Amino acid sequence: MPDGTPFTVRQRRLTRAVWQLNGIGDPIKERRGYSLVTGEMTMRVMILAMVLIGTLTDASPATAREFRLGLITPPTHLWTEAAIRFGEALEAATEGEHTLAVFPARQLGTEAQLLQLLQTGALDFAILTISEVSNRLPQFGAFYAPYLVADVGEAAALLRGSTAQRMLDALPQELGVFGLGYCLAGMRQILSRDALAAPTDLGGQKIRITPFVPLRDFYQLLGAAPTPMPLASVYDALTNGQIDAIDMDLEAIWKVRYYESADTLMLSNHMMFPSVGVISGRTWLRLSEADRELVGRLMRTHLDRVMDEYVEQERQWEVDLRGAGVDVVDVGAASFGSAIAEWEALWLPQAPVLATLKAEAAANADRSRPR
């Protein structure tokens, strides 16, 4: 192999991740003999990288593993069901050699704590909200651009697209985990204890938000008082009036019965709410190539299927809520006043990928619109 043989993007990423996970810094950026422009490595650096990858990855025959997956959603949530199906599929495909224990409902901690466990290798897999990821990597805040997509179908198309997939490449280096595939919960809606006509009526009211910056900014720009609160605390806070409203999706509003403590559902579809299935970098590097292919494919398949389930089920949850006597008010982008344009002005510099995502979302919408 001649000196300067092209190093594939995948080899490059893996090498960088190996070095990073072992605290050796990033030789790819630092060393001479490697061109960031052409993507070529000298023979010397390439051999060193391949030796290191070979040493640190388990190229030996697959060993039986009891994997662990953590997530914050309750047992009845579609993400949790997908995690269980992923485990069953893994066990079936390996004839029981690999098993998966699923820990839902924050049994292993908050998403920040799950991430720490993943980084140390104490946890193998997680399904993390992109909100947690965006707190560390602002580029991911772009997914929360209000009305970036119109519905879950468009959200799923965007997450399956090339820009979103490329964004996952940053995870090994920045977070020490590999992103295997996206998933989503439904679009965000506003459920309010008081009878309100429009989101702008939320002025000064305490609205529960998932704790992440893009959403906090959005409600601040709207003039509300965003109140960060984990999912597990929402029911009591809404019931006892500690908060006036919640930012939530239809699945949770219906299944957790939040609607019982509220007068108005503003059906706004104002934001998508993606998640990502990840594997600990340490676990990944110890897997054989065959096991990497298997866990990647199975996780991606089961998460992807959930996106279709949301497309099928969101309409039914809406019908169920209307049937339960909830006052449903249809609201659109115009009812948020200037908050949407102001949010974009604030977030485009922090998450420049937003421009590309918007173009891709618009092209997807054009393609799916009946002519």
Q: Which residues in this chain contact ligand BEZ in the complex, by CB under 6 A?
A: 72-73, 129, 185, 210, 231, 248-249, 252
3-state SS class at 127: strand
Nearer to ligand BEZ by Cβ, of 46 and 128: the residue is: 128
The set of long-range contacts for 311-316, using a CB threshold of 8 Å and a minimum separation of 24, is 311/152, 311/153, 311/156, 313/78, 313/251, 314/151, 314/152, 314/186, 314/187, 314/250, 314/251
Longest dimension (CA), the chain: 72
Nearer to ligand BEZ by Cβ, of 105 and 198: the residue is: 105
183 vs 304: CA distance, rounded Å? 6
Nearer to ligand BEZ by Cβ, of 191 and 231: the residue is: 231
The distance of closest approach from Cβ of residue 248 to ligand BEZ in the complex, given in angstroms and rounded to an integer, is 6
> How wide is the angle at C-alpha 99 spanned by C-alphas 75 and 23, nearest 5°?
95
Nearer to ligand BEZ by Cβ, of 87 and 186: the residue is: 186
The distance of closest approach from Cβ of residue 128 to ligand BEZ in the complex, given in angstroms and rounded to an integer, is 9
The distance of closest approach from Cβ of residue 143 to ligand BEZ in the complex, given in angstroms and rounded to an integer, is 14
Q: Cβ-closest residue to ligand BEZ?
A: 210
The distance of closest approach from Cβ of residue 119 to ligand BEZ in the complex, given in angstroms and rounded to an integer, is 21
Asked if residue 207 lies in contact with residue 219, where contact means CB atoms within 8 angstroms, the answer is yes
Beta bridge partners of residue 277, listed in sequence order: 127, 181
The distance of closest approach from Cβ of residue 359 to ligand BEZ in the complex, given in angstroms and rounded to an integer, is 28
Asked if residue 82 lies in contact with residue 305, where contact means CB atoms within 8 angstroms, the answer is yes
First to last CA, the chain: 53
Nearer to ligand BEZ by Cβ, of 90 and 127: the residue is: 127
299 vs 71: CA distance, rounded Å? 14
227 vs 221: CA distance, rounded Å? 14
Nearer to ligand BEZ by Cβ, of 18 and 72: the residue is: 72
The distance of closest approach from Cβ of residue 152 to ligand BEZ in the complex, given in angstroms and rounded to an integer, is 13
Whose tokens are 């009591």? That residue is 236
Nearer to ligand BEZ by Cβ, of 72 and 167: the residue is: 72
Q: Which distant-in-sequence residues (6+ apart) come within 8 Å of 55 by Cβ?
A: none
The distance of closest approach from Cβ of residue 262 to ligand BEZ in the complex, given in angstroms and rounded to an integer, is 15
